[in-house]
Amino acid sequence: MTDHFYITTPIYYVNGAPHIGHAYTTIVADALARYHRLKAEEVFFLTGTDEHGLKVQRAAEEKGCTPLELADTNSAEFRRLFEKLELTHDRFIRTTEADHRRTVEWMVKKLLKAGDIYLGEYEGWYSASDEAYYDESEIEDGVAIESGSPVEWVQEKSYFFKLSKYTEPLLKWYADNPTCIAPSARHNEVRSFVESGLRDLSISRTTFDWGIPMPDDPKHVLYVWVDALTNYYTAVGPFTDSHDPSRVKDFWPADVHLIGKDILRFHAVYWPAFLMSAGLPLPKQIFAHGWWLNEGVKMSKSKGNFIDAFDLVEDYELDVLRYYVLREIPLGNDGNFSQARVVERNNAELADNVGNLVNRALTMHGRYLDGEIPATPELSADDDIALRKTALETAKAVDDAISDLEIHRALEQIMALSRETNQYIQTVQPWALHKEGDSERLAETLYCALEAIRFVAVLLSPFVPDASGRILDGLLGDTDGGRDLVSLKTWGGLPVGHTTKKPDVLFDKLEAPPEPAEEAPKAEKPKKEKKAKNEKKEKKKQASQVTFDQVMSVELTVAQILTAEAVEGADRLLKLTADVGEDAPRTVVAGIAKSFSPEELVGLRVAMVTNLKPAKLFGIESQAMILAAKKPDGTMALSRFGEDVPVGTRIS
Residue 329: count of CB within 10 angstroms of its CB: 20
- Indicate whether 274 belongs to the interface with ligand MSP (CB under 6 A): no
Min CB(99)–ligand MSP separation in Å:
16
Cβ nearer to ligand MSP, comparing 229 with 313: 229
- Indicate whether 310 belongs to the interface with ligand MSP (CB under 6 A): no
Min CB(433)–ligand MSP separation in Å:
50
CA distance 113 to 160: 14
Min CB(523)–ligand MSP separation in Å:
27
- Indicate whether 12 belongs to the interface with ligand MSP (CB under 6 A): yes
Cβ nearer to ligand MSP, comparing 46 with 558: 46
Provide CB contacts within 8 A for 237, sequence distance 6+.
103, 247, 248, 252
Find the part of the chain contacting ligand MSP (CB under 6 A) among 10-18, 62-70, 102-110, 184-192: 10-18
Residue 424: count of CB within 10 angstroms of its CB: 20
Q: What is the DSSP string of 450-516?
A: HHHHHHHHHHHTTTSHHHHHHHHHHHHTT-SS-SSGGGGSSS--S-TTPBP-PPS-SS---PPPPPS
Residue 442: count of CB within 10 angstroms of its CB: 24
φ, ψ of residue 619 in degrees (nearest 5): 80, 0
Are 339 and 317 contacting, i.e. CB atoms less than 8 angstroms apart?
Answer: no
Distance of CA 47 to the CA centre of its chain: 13
Instruction: Enter the DSSP assignment of 29.
Output: H
Distance of CA 16 to the CA centre of its chain: 16
- Indicate whether 262 belongs to the interface with ligand MSP (CB under 6 A): yes
Please pick, from the candidates 6, 13, 210, 324, the single residue that binds ligand MSP as defined by CB under 6 A: 13
Find the part of the chain contacting ligand MSP (CB under 6 A) among 177-185, 227-235, 351-359, 605-613: 227-235
Min CB(479)–ligand MSP separation in Å:
41
Cβ nearer to ligand MSP, comparing 95 with 421: 95
Min CB(108)–ligand MSP separation in Å:
16
Cβ nearer to ligand MSP, comparing 10 with 183: 10
- Indicate whether 193 belongs to the interface with ligand MSP (CB under 6 A): no
Cβ nearer to ligand MSP, comparing 108 with 299: 299
Cβ nearer to ligand MSP, comparing 21 with 465: 21
H/E stretch holding 123: strand 117-127
Find the part of the chain contacting ligand MSP (CB under 6 A) among 118-126, 133-141, 205-213, 224-232: 224-232
Rg (CA), the chain: 30
- Indicate whether 292 belongs to the interface with ligand MSP (CB under 6 A): yes
Cβ nearer to ligand MSP, comparing 96 with 353: 96
Count of residues binding ligand MSP (CB under 6 A)?
19
Q: For the chain, give the longest Cα–Cα distance.
A: 96
Taking the alpha carbons of 524, 526, 529, 531 in that order, is the dihedral positive or negative?
A: negative
Min CB(646)–ligand MSP separation in Å:
44
Min CB(6)–ligand MSP separation in Å:
15
Find the part of the chain contacting ligand MSP (CB under 6 A) among 8-16, 203-211, 246-254, 359-367: 8-16
Please pick, from the candidates 260, 283, 374, 462, the single residue that binds ligand MSP as defined by CB under 6 A: 260
Min CB(197)–ligand MSP separation in Å:
24
Nearest residue to 80 via CA among 374, 367, 309, 273: 309
Go through the chain and tell me how many residues it has: 652
Please pick, from the candidates 87, 259, 433, 617, the single residue that binds ligand MSP as defined by CB under 6 A: 259
Min CB(227)–ligand MSP separation in Å:
9
Cβ nearer to ligand MSP, comparing 231 with 347: 231
Are 539 and 550 contacting, i.e. CB atoms less than 8 angstroms apart?
Answer: no
Cβ nearer to ligand MSP, comparing 25 with 560: 25
Are 430 and 446 contacting, i.e. CB atoms less than 8 angstroms apart?
Answer: yes
Give the CB-nearest residue to ligand MSP.
260
Instruction: Please give the torsion angle defined by the CA atoms of residues 69, 71, 73 and 78, in that order, rounded to the nearest 10 degrees.
Output: -170
- Indicate whether 11 belongs to the interface with ligand MSP (CB under 6 A): yes
**According to CB under 6 A, which residues from 16 to 75 bind ligand MSP?**
21-22, 24-25, 50
Nearest residue to 472 via CA among 463, 459, 490: 459
- Indicate whether 227 belongs to the interface with ligand MSP (CB under 6 A): no
Min CB(385)–ligand MSP separation in Å:
44
Q: What is the DSSP string of 213-262?
A: EETTEEEEEE-HHHHHHTHHHHTTSTTSTT--HHHHHHHPSPSEEEEEGG
Which residues on adjacent β-strands are paired with residue 258? 287
Cβ nearer to ligand MSP, comparing 161 with 292: 292
Cβ nearer to ligand MSP, comparing 10 with 377: 10
Cβ nearer to ligand MSP, comparing 17 with 627: 17
Provide CB contacts within 8 A for 163, sequence distance 6+.
198, 199, 200, 201, 269, 270, 273
Residue 502: count of CB within 10 angstroms of its CB: 18
Please pick, from the candidates 117, 190, 278, 299, the single residue that binds ligand MSP as defined by CB under 6 A: 299
Cβ nearer to ligand MSP, comparing 294 with 390: 294
- Indicate whether 291 belongs to the interface with ligand MSP (CB under 6 A): yes
Cβ nearer to ligand MSP, comparing 21 with 355: 21
Nearest residue to 308 via CA among 83, 527, 538, 20: 20
Can you give the binding site for ligand MSP, defined by CB under 6 A? Answer: 10-13, 21-22, 24-25, 50, 228-229, 231, 259-260, 262-263, 291-292, 299
